[in-house]
Structure 1
Amino acid sequence: MKKCVVIGGGFAGLTAAAYLSNAGHSVELIEASPKLGGRAYSFQDRSTGDVIDNGQHIMMGCYKETLKFLSMIGASGNIEIQKQLDVIFLKKNYQLFHLKASSAPYPFNLLSALLHFTALSRTNRLSILKFFLKIFLVHPDRLKSLSVKQWLQIELQNEETIKSFWEILTVGTLNTSTEKASAKIFSDVLKEIFFKGTKSASIILPLKGLSETYCGQAANYLSKNDGIISLSEKVESLIFDVEKVVAVKTDKRVVENFDFVVTAVPFYALKKLGVAEILPELNVNYSTIVSIHLWLDINPLEEKFYGLIDSMIHWIFNHGKHITLVISNADYLSIRDKKEILEIALMELEKFTSIKRQDVISSKIIKEKRATFVPSNDLINKRPSSKTKIKNLFLAGDWTDTGLPSTIESAVKSGRTAAELIRVSAK
């Protein structure tokens, strides 16, 4: 049994800690915040008393690592998985369109979903189908220098198709624009969602607040395996001696006598720990997500969630008298006053639904300015692996080289990878 220190209590850190505990190692997780969850957590709203998420998260059936992690910690019952792809989209003037997989065998069920998606013209649906059929014919190296927008234009996707389909997919999966996003990582995402079986394209939603969905279960799992969680303790630096981490200095103490360290914090936080020399030169930019929580007197919405076409609002999540509007790729709103954001959002909401501003009895706006990293070609081609030149130091975090964008799945995969490398090193 080895002693391991995990720095960071988000999805990456909790996953690494859980897998290390599962392998029989002694684990201490240190988190600067008074709560677990990192950028994916829930809290009690003071005005209403309701538990809300800092940002609504959609997962998908292709999140194999996440599903495995949730199963291991006993949290599988806290999520709802669609049997197959089924999404209602809204256009202005209350128009509804259904993107739904049929009962036909895979892949014909997904083909049917696209061909019957009447939000797009027949010509545009066929154009998208041709794009999907060609996706495996494009060499990955060719995409490493292209943006999503450039790739789509090369493949003769017109502006209407880009605006009404590809931008929704790009912003929804990468939280950035088609102009900035790497074509290579977008290609990888499309293959994971649409070419790995029926379940991969299914939407997964938490049944509870994010903290209750996984943070509490992960903490209980670590506790049962004699793990230690130290909250409200900020790691200030790592102390090295001959290519080895020998101490972790926090704002409360110096932690020593351990075998391995996993850092599971964002890149900007990791640079402050005195490890700049072992990190590549990365230009990491971040993209904002704005969540607008509305409490309604009357809620006419019937579905659990909606996607919006040609709107600044990308998703609406329905929790009964409480709904959440999600605006991704929202840097343009980050400097706006919250009252102004609310006014803009309500005007937009009235164009797509029958909800009126007088129906709103309470609201809360949350800006996550560093919600995700921007998956540009420059960054995607330089992301570091979990293994470092320091023998007992391993990296985790969605920004490491997982082959995935900045998602829960990427964070979980990075944590599992770090734990697996330690398992091998500990032999």
Structure 2
Amino acid sequence: MSVAKQPLKVAVVGGGWAGCAAGVELASKGARVTLFEAARMLGGRARAVQAKEALLDNGQHIMLGAYAETLALLRRVGVAERDALLRLPLQMRYPPGSGLMDFVAPRLPAPLHMLAALLRATGLEREDKLALARFSTSARWMKWGLDTDCSVAELLARFDQTPRLTRLMWRPLCLAALNTAIERASANVFLAVLRDSLGARRKDSDMLLPRVLLDALFPEAARRYIEERGGRVACGARVDTIARLDGGWQVGACLGAAGFDAVVLATPAWQSAALVRPLAGLEALGARLDAFDYEPISTVYLQYAPGLRLPLPFCALLDDPARGAWGQFVFDRGQLGPGQDRGQDGLLAVVISAALDAAKLAQDELARLVAVQLAAAFRQPALAEPRWSRVLTEKRATFACTPGLDRPGNATGLDGLFLAGDYTAGDYPATLEMAVRSGAAAARLALGAR
């Protein structure tokens, strides 16, 4: 008489997008998942938070149509793209009437969409357009990569990019994608992002903006998916220790959760370092995880009267910190979805990447300066007087994405212990897609752990 094989028992520590992706991948293959999250809700650094005034996302995200694993994962947990995401053509647009760049890729097959966008673009001089065309052609020839990494600033200088194009396009794109200034940012990672935007098929180059709050976009659907398949999601459950026990793994001395076949650590790098450092043989890995530097992101929310609309769902802003203009992109949350239903009609979100200096300002002062910047940029004096404002700063929003950065793989070297997170080895920066890819990869390794 044969004995039924017991399902693989896997602990996932961390309920951000990497941890949720790992949990979903494991549950889909029949593993018995227990997901531990220290916070009261899932989502990690991409979550909704309850501010005094309203429920707000902890930051504003843009995804690409090329985010294949993220889109497939959303479909798997039952999230319909048309309901959850606003799909827009690739664009870099400043406020109308500003005389600055207005670049929109039309709905044409690649690469015609990019050629048409370049020909139609306004706010760029002839030498700017030639520089952009030259750069794109050279990047394709190089297969969107360098043999030896360097800074984005060095890359742009090497291909004679004009100061105006760098100011209006390359610099803000690099800040938005890598959250690292061009003088310090990795050229190879930046090229990977451009490969999947400027160099991609038309549909893959589309920009996808969340219509719903981030917790409703994926984490809560992941919770339901895991629990419906016999798993457990424990929020408010902090894990301070992991240890080998009788050929398996114990997670948390006080959680009563011993006997796992495998553990996926989906916590931020510095938290994973604290968990792996006491384990014999992983001292060097702990040091690698501790070596990351981090960059903050500030999001300034400004609430105006219901019915207020910007000319576009989102716009680039010309920042100039020396003159008090900190905002880099503004999103009209009321245009991203049914604003009245979400309580976000008339709500603007202004993003400041690599926000170390901005975060030093008092929150009220930063919000005031951003409101004044909006009023000037859109020539609407009323924007200087919001009903209320709120500044949310994620101090360690992403790792500093510098050239040649040492990013560890998913395997730790110990049987049954794996890493997941947007900081792990890959060609993308710290994005939702990188987190999802890493979580799924760690899960696939864990499935072979028995």
Shift of 1:95: 4.4
> Helix, strand or coil: the match of 1:131?
helix
Q: Which runs of 5+ in 2 are unaligned?
A: 1-6, 321-325, 335-344
1:414 Cα deviation (Å)?
0.2
CA contact (8 A) 1:2 1:259 kept: yes
The range that moved more, 294-303 or 158-167, is 294-303
Who is 1:281 aligned against? 288
Distance 1:294 1:310, change over 3 A: closer
Give the equivalent residue in structure 1 for 2:342: none
2:40 aligned to 34, 45, 66, which one?
A: 34
TM-score under structure 2 length normalisation: 0.88
Residue aligning to 2:351? 326
Deviation per CA, 1:79-130, whole angstroms, max 9, x where unpaired? 2242632453227x64475322224321111221123221221211111110
- Determine helix, strand or coil for the equivalent of 1:14: helix
* Maintained 8 Å contact 2:101/2:168: no
Q: Are 1:10 and 1:37, in contact at CA under 8 Å, matched by a contact in 2?
A: yes
CA pair 173-416 structure 1, distance change in 2 beyond 3 A: same
What residue is the counterpart of 2:220 in the other structure? 216
* 1:414 maps to 2:438: yes
Letter in 2 for 1:303: L
Residue aligning to 2:402: 376
Match of 2:251 among 248, 251, 268: 248
Paired residue secondary structure (1:377): coil
Secondary structure at 2:288's aligned position in 1? coil
Once residues 16 and 239 of structure 2 are traced to their aligned partners in structure 1, the CA distance between those partners, rounded to angstroms, is 15
| Alpha carbons of structure 1 residues 21 and 135: separation in structure 2 relative to 1, 3 Å | same
Match of 2:360 in 1: 335
Q: 2:233 is matched with which residue?
A: 229
8 Å Cα contact 2:110/2:200 also seen in 1:
no
**1:262-281 equivalences in 2 (<5 Å):** 262-275=264-277, 276-277=282-283, 279=285, 281=288
Q: SS state of the match for residue 371, structure 1?
A: strand
| Aligned mates of 1:396, 1:85 — CA distance in 2 | 29
Q: Which residue of 2 aligns with 1:304?
A: 313
1:20-419 map, 5 Å: 20-47=26-53, 50-77=54-81, 78-82=83-87, 84-90=89-95, 94-95=98-99, 97-138=101-142, 142=146, 144-240=148-244, 246-250=249-253, 252-275=254-277, 276-277=282-283, 279=285, 281=288, 283-297=291-305, 299-310=308-319, 312-318=326-332, 319=334, 320-353=345-378, 354-357=380-383, 359-379=385-405, 382-419=406-443
Q: Deviations over 1:248-292 (max 9, x none)?
A: 125x32421110100001111111114352516352111111111
Q: Alpha carbons of 1:27 and 1:300: their partners in 2 closer, same or farther (altered >3 Å)?
A: closer
C-alpha separation in 2, matches of 1:331 and 1:114: 34
Give the direction of change, closer, same or farther, for the CA distance of 1:245–1:344 in structure 2 (3 Å limit): farther
| AA at the equivalent of 1:259 | D
Q: Whole-Å Cα distance in 2 between the matches of residues 406 and 141 of structure 1?
A: 18
Identity of matched residues, %: 30
Mapped to 2, the partners of 1:358 and 1:130 lie a distance apart of 40
Question: What secondary structure does 2:78 align onto?
Answer: coil
Aligned pair in 2 of structure 1 residues 141, 315: CA closer, same or farther (>3 Å)?
closer
Q: Secondary structure of 2:136's partner?
A: helix
Whether contact under 8 Å (1:67, 1:76) holds in the other structure is no
Gaps of 5+ in 1: none
SS in 2 for 1:194: coil
C-alpha contact 1:164 1:310 (8 A) present in aligned 2: no
Give the distance between the partners of 1:148 and 1:201, measured in 2 at CA: 21
Deviations, residues 323-367 of structure 1 (Å, cap 9, x unaligned): 111111111112221122112212211221115355411111111
Count of residues in Structure 1 that have an aligned counterpart in Structure 2: 419
Tell me, yes or no, if the aligned pair for 2:61 and 2:209 is still in contact at 8 Å. yes
